[in-house]
Protein backbone atom coordinates (compact mmCIF):
# COMPACT_ATOMS: atom_id res chain seq x y z
CA UNK A 1 0.00 0.00 0.00
CA UNK A 2 1.05 3.57 -0.63
CA UNK A 3 2.43 4.96 2.63
CA UNK A 4 4.73 7.66 3.97
CA UNK A 5 6.73 8.40 7.09
CA UNK A 6 5.86 11.88 8.36
CA UNK A 7 6.04 13.93 11.54
CA UNK A 8 4.43 17.03 12.97
CA UNK A 9 6.74 18.78 15.45
CA UNK A 10 8.36 15.39 16.09
CA UNK A 11 5.06 13.52 16.52
CA UNK A 12 5.82 10.48 14.31
CA UNK A 13 3.37 8.89 11.88
CA UNK A 14 2.97 6.27 9.21
CA UNK A 15 0.32 7.58 6.80
CA UNK A 16 -1.42 5.13 4.48
CA UNK A 17 -3.34 6.49 1.48
CA UNK A 18 -6.28 4.09 1.11
CA UNK A 19 -8.40 6.41 -1.03
CA UNK A 20 -9.79 4.56 -4.02
CA UNK A 21 -9.39 1.18 -2.31
CA UNK A 22 -13.15 0.68 -2.22
CA UNK A 23 -13.09 -0.55 1.37
CA UNK A 24 -12.31 0.62 4.85
CA UNK A 25 -9.15 -0.64 6.51
CA UNK A 26 -9.72 -3.12 9.32
CA UNK A 27 -6.30 -3.90 10.78
CA UNK A 28 -6.12 -6.28 13.73
CA UNK A 29 -4.60 -4.80 16.86
CA UNK A 30 -1.72 -7.26 16.53
CA UNK A 31 -1.02 -6.03 12.99
CA UNK A 32 -0.72 -2.43 14.15
CA UNK A 33 1.57 -3.28 17.06
CA UNK A 34 3.74 -5.45 14.80
CA UNK A 35 4.00 -2.60 12.27
CA UNK A 36 5.05 -0.27 15.10
CA UNK A 37 7.96 -2.60 15.80
CA UNK A 38 9.26 -2.54 12.23
CA UNK A 39 8.31 1.07 11.38
CA UNK A 40 8.35 2.93 14.74
CA UNK A 41 5.58 5.51 15.02
CA UNK A 42 3.33 7.21 17.57
CA UNK A 43 0.21 6.92 15.40
CA UNK A 44 -0.79 5.04 12.27
CA UNK A 45 -2.95 7.21 9.98
CA UNK A 46 -5.13 6.25 7.03
CA UNK A 47 -6.86 8.42 4.45
CA UNK A 48 -10.06 6.84 3.09
CA UNK A 49 -12.84 7.99 0.78
CA UNK A 50 -15.73 9.90 2.35
CA UNK A 51 -18.89 11.18 0.72
CA UNK A 52 -19.27 14.25 2.92
CA UNK A 53 -15.66 15.49 3.11
CA UNK A 54 -12.51 15.55 1.00
CA UNK A 55 -11.38 12.41 2.84
CA UNK A 56 -11.84 10.47 6.06
CA UNK A 57 -8.89 10.32 8.45
CA UNK A 58 -8.58 7.32 10.74
CA UNK A 59 -6.06 7.01 13.58
CA UNK A 60 -4.59 4.09 15.51
CA UNK A 61 -2.17 4.49 18.41
CA UNK A 62 0.85 2.25 18.43
CA UNK A 63 -0.85 -0.09 20.90
CA UNK A 64 -3.33 -0.93 18.12
CA UNK A 65 -6.35 0.94 19.48
CA UNK A 66 -8.31 3.18 17.10
CA UNK A 67 -8.91 6.70 18.47
CA UNK A 68 -11.07 9.65 17.54
CA UNK A 69 -8.55 12.34 16.66
CA UNK A 70 -4.90 13.27 16.20
CA UNK A 71 -4.16 16.97 15.80
CA UNK A 72 -0.68 16.75 14.34
CA UNK A 73 -1.72 13.74 12.27
CA UNK A 74 -4.56 15.76 10.77
CA UNK A 75 -2.07 18.48 9.85
CA UNK A 76 0.24 15.90 8.26
CA UNK A 77 -2.57 14.31 6.24
CA UNK A 78 -3.78 17.73 5.08
CA UNK A 79 -0.24 18.71 4.06
CA UNK A 80 0.02 15.61 1.87
CA UNK A 81 -3.35 16.33 0.25
CA UNK A 82 -2.33 19.94 -0.37
CA UNK A 83 0.78 18.68 -2.16
CA UNK A 84 -1.31 16.29 -4.26
CA UNK A 85 -4.04 18.74 -5.23
CA UNK A 86 -2.48 22.18 -5.10
CA UNK A 87 -5.38 23.33 -2.95
CA UNK A 88 -5.07 25.57 0.11
CA UNK A 89 -8.07 24.35 2.13
CA UNK A 90 -9.94 21.08 2.69
CA UNK A 91 -12.21 19.20 5.06
CA UNK A 92 -11.62 15.87 6.80
CA UNK A 93 -14.07 13.55 8.52
CA UNK A 94 -13.00 11.58 11.61
CA UNK A 95 -14.39 9.58 14.49
CA UNK A 96 -13.91 12.68 16.64
CA UNK A 97 -15.93 14.89 14.29
CA UNK A 98 -15.38 17.03 11.17
CA UNK A 99 -12.23 19.12 10.83
CA UNK A 100 -11.01 21.69 8.32
CA UNK A 101 -7.44 22.55 7.37
CA UNK A 102 -5.69 25.35 5.52
CA UNK A 103 -2.22 25.82 4.14
CA UNK A 104 -0.05 28.48 5.78
CA UNK A 105 3.14 30.09 4.53
CA UNK A 106 6.46 28.30 5.01
CA UNK A 107 4.98 24.81 4.74
CA UNK A 108 2.96 24.99 7.95
CA UNK A 109 -0.63 23.76 8.22
CA UNK A 110 -3.43 24.96 10.49
CA UNK A 111 -6.33 22.71 11.40
CA UNK A 112 -9.64 23.60 13.02
CA UNK A 113 -10.11 20.72 15.46
CA UNK A 114 -13.70 21.73 16.17
CA UNK A 115 -15.20 22.78 19.50
CA UNK A 116 -13.63 21.91 22.83
CA UNK A 117 -15.98 19.55 24.68
CA UNK A 118 -16.11 20.39 28.35
CA UNK A 119 -19.07 18.58 29.97
CA UNK A 120 -18.10 15.73 32.29
CA UNK A 121 -20.03 13.20 30.21
CA UNK A 122 -18.19 14.36 27.07
CA UNK A 123 -14.68 13.80 28.48
CA UNK A 124 -15.94 11.19 29.59
CA UNK A 125 -15.60 10.87 33.36
CA UNK A 126 -16.92 8.05 35.50
CA UNK A 127 -18.89 10.49 37.68
CA UNK A 128 -20.11 14.07 37.62
CA UNK A 129 -17.37 16.58 38.36
CA UNK A 130 -16.36 20.17 37.59
CA UNK A 131 -14.05 19.84 34.58
CA UNK A 132 -12.37 23.23 35.12
CA UNK A 133 -10.51 21.66 38.05
CA UNK A 134 -11.10 17.97 38.61
CA UNK A 135 -11.36 16.73 42.17
CA UNK A 136 -8.50 14.39 41.44
CA UNK A 137 -4.89 14.13 42.55
CA UNK A 138 -1.81 12.05 41.77
CA UNK A 139 0.82 11.28 44.45
CA UNK A 140 4.41 11.95 43.45
CA UNK A 141 7.34 9.67 44.32
CA UNK A 142 9.15 11.09 47.32
CA UNK A 143 6.19 13.18 48.46
CA UNK A 144 3.90 15.86 47.17
CA UNK A 145 1.12 15.51 44.64
CA UNK A 146 -0.39 16.93 41.49
CA UNK A 147 -4.01 18.02 41.76
CA UNK A 148 -6.83 19.91 40.10
CA UNK A 149 -6.19 19.11 36.41
CA UNK A 150 -8.45 20.58 33.76
CA UNK A 151 -10.37 18.10 31.61
CA UNK A 152 -11.03 18.68 27.91
CA UNK A 153 -12.14 16.43 25.05
CA UNK A 154 -10.58 17.41 21.70
CA UNK A 155 -11.84 14.35 19.84
CA UNK A 156 -10.15 12.31 22.55
CA UNK A 157 -9.97 12.83 26.33
CA UNK A 158 -7.30 14.89 28.09
CA UNK A 159 -6.50 15.74 31.70
CA UNK A 160 -4.03 18.63 31.99
CA UNK A 161 -2.02 19.16 35.19
CA UNK A 162 -0.35 22.53 35.78
CA UNK A 163 3.10 22.28 37.34
CA UNK A 164 5.98 24.50 38.39
CA UNK A 165 8.72 22.57 36.58
CA UNK A 166 7.66 20.05 33.93
CA UNK A 167 11.27 18.96 33.33
CA UNK A 168 11.54 17.66 36.90
CA UNK A 169 8.49 15.39 36.71
CA UNK A 170 8.87 11.58 36.46
CA UNK A 171 6.25 11.45 33.71
CA UNK A 172 7.06 7.92 32.59
CA UNK A 173 6.40 6.81 36.17
CA UNK A 174 3.10 8.61 36.79
CA UNK A 175 1.65 8.80 33.27
CA UNK A 176 0.43 5.18 33.03
CA UNK A 177 -1.45 5.45 36.32
CA UNK A 178 -3.31 8.55 35.16
CA UNK A 179 -4.03 7.00 31.74
CA UNK A 180 -5.66 3.93 33.30
CA UNK A 181 -7.35 5.53 36.33
CA UNK A 182 -10.99 4.37 36.76
CA UNK A 183 -12.11 8.03 36.69
CA UNK A 184 -11.51 7.88 32.92
CA UNK A 185 -13.56 5.01 31.46
CA UNK A 186 -12.02 5.47 27.98
CA UNK A 187 -8.56 6.08 29.47
CA UNK A 188 -7.04 9.54 29.12
CA UNK A 189 -4.13 11.50 27.68
CA UNK A 190 -2.23 13.02 30.61
CA UNK A 191 -0.77 16.48 29.95
CA UNK A 192 1.77 18.21 32.18
CA UNK A 193 1.91 21.94 31.49
CA UNK A 194 4.20 24.67 32.79
CA UNK A 195 2.75 28.11 32.09
CA UNK A 196 5.58 30.51 31.29
CA UNK A 197 3.41 33.51 30.51
CA UNK A 198 -0.07 34.50 29.29
CA UNK A 199 0.79 33.25 25.80
CA UNK A 200 3.43 30.57 26.42
CA UNK A 201 3.15 27.00 27.74
CA UNK A 202 5.77 24.25 28.04
CA UNK A 203 4.05 20.89 27.63
CA UNK A 204 4.73 17.17 27.84
CA UNK A 205 2.02 14.59 27.18
CA UNK A 206 1.71 10.94 28.13
CA UNK A 207 -0.57 9.73 25.33
CA UNK A 208 -2.92 6.83 25.92
CA UNK A 209 -1.73 3.90 23.86
CA UNK A 210 1.47 5.68 22.78
CA UNK A 211 3.29 6.84 25.91
CA UNK A 212 5.48 9.94 26.10
CA UNK A 213 5.73 11.53 22.65
CA UNK A 214 7.71 14.48 21.28
CA UNK A 215 4.48 16.38 20.62
CA UNK A 216 0.71 15.90 20.87
CA UNK A 217 -1.55 18.19 18.84
CA UNK A 218 -4.82 17.56 20.64
CA UNK A 219 -2.83 17.72 23.89
CA UNK A 220 -1.57 21.19 22.95
CA UNK A 221 -5.14 22.25 22.19
CA UNK A 222 -6.39 20.84 25.48
CA UNK A 223 -3.59 22.53 27.42
CA UNK A 224 -4.55 25.98 26.11
CA UNK A 225 -8.26 25.44 26.79
CA UNK A 226 -7.61 24.12 30.30
CA UNK A 227 -5.15 26.94 31.06
CA UNK A 228 -7.56 29.63 29.90
CA UNK A 229 -10.45 28.14 31.89
CA UNK A 230 -8.27 28.28 35.02
CA UNK A 231 -7.32 31.91 34.33
CA UNK A 232 -3.69 31.12 33.57
CA UNK A 233 -3.47 32.30 29.93
CA UNK A 234 -5.36 34.13 27.22
CA UNK A 235 -7.09 32.36 24.33
CA UNK A 236 -3.92 32.24 22.18
CA UNK A 237 -0.62 30.66 23.12
CA UNK A 238 2.43 28.97 21.68
CA UNK A 239 2.81 25.48 23.10
CA UNK A 240 6.42 24.32 23.34
CA UNK A 241 6.63 20.55 22.94
CA UNK A 242 9.86 18.54 22.95
CA UNK A 243 9.69 18.37 19.13
CA UNK A 244 8.78 21.95 18.29
CA UNK A 245 6.39 24.87 18.66
CA UNK A 246 2.63 24.55 18.18
CA UNK A 247 0.59 27.78 18.11
CA UNK A 248 -2.96 27.24 19.40
CA UNK A 249 -5.99 29.54 19.30
CA UNK A 250 -9.39 29.06 21.00
CA UNK A 251 -11.80 31.26 19.07
CA UNK A 252 -14.96 33.00 20.29
CA UNK A 253 -17.14 30.29 18.73
CA UNK A 254 -15.40 27.65 20.85
CA UNK A 255 -13.35 26.06 18.06
CA UNK A 256 -9.69 25.28 18.68
CA UNK A 257 -7.14 25.94 15.92
CA UNK A 258 -3.76 24.19 15.89
CA UNK A 259 -0.86 25.05 13.60
CA UNK A 260 2.77 24.06 13.22
CA UNK A 261 5.37 22.39 11.02
CA UNK A 262 5.02 19.18 9.01
CA UNK A 263 7.86 17.07 7.64
CA UNK A 264 7.73 14.33 5.00
CA UNK A 265 10.52 11.89 5.81
CA UNK A 266 10.02 9.50 2.90
CA UNK A 267 8.06 6.55 1.56
CA UNK A 268 7.29 3.52 3.73
CA UNK A 269 6.94 -0.02 2.41
CA UNK A 270 3.75 -1.48 3.91
CA UNK A 271 2.31 -4.84 2.89
CA UNK A 272 -1.41 -5.17 2.08
CA UNK A 273 -2.08 -6.99 5.35
CA UNK A 274 0.74 -5.10 7.12
Cα–Cα distance for residue pair 87/72, rounded to 1 Å:
19
| Contact indicator for 136, 183 with CB cutoff of 8 Å | yes
Collapsing DSSP to helix, strand or coil, 91 comes out as: strand
Q: Quick check: is 137 catalytic?
A: no
| Contact indicator for 101, 109 with CB cutoff of 8 Å | yes
Cα–Cα distance for residue pair 50/37, rounded to 1 Å:
30
Q: Which candidate, 236, 166, 234, places its Cα nearest to that of 202? A: 166
How far from 71 is each of 11, 218, 238, CA to CA, in Å? 10, 5, 15
- For 174, counting Cβ atoms within 10 Å of its Cβ (0-12 exposed, 13-18 middle, 19+ buried), the class is buried
Collapsing DSSP to helix, strand or coil, 78 comes out as: helix
**Which is catalytic among the residues 14, 77, 169, 216?**
216
**Which is catalytic among the residues 59, 70, 77, 113?**
70
Q: What is the DSSP string of 184-245?
A: -TT--EEEEEEEEETTEEEEEEEETTTEE-S--HHHHHHHHHHHHHTTSS-SEEEEEETTEE
Which residues are part of the catalytic machinery?
70, 216
Amino acid sequence: MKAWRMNGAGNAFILIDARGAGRALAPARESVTALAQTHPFDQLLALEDDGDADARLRVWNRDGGEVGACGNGTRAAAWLMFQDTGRDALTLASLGGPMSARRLSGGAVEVDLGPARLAWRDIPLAREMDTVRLDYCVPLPGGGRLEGPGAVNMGNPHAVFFVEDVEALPIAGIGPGVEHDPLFPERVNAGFAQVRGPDSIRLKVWERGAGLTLACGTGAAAALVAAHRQGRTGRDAVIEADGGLLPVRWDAAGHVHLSGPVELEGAAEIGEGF
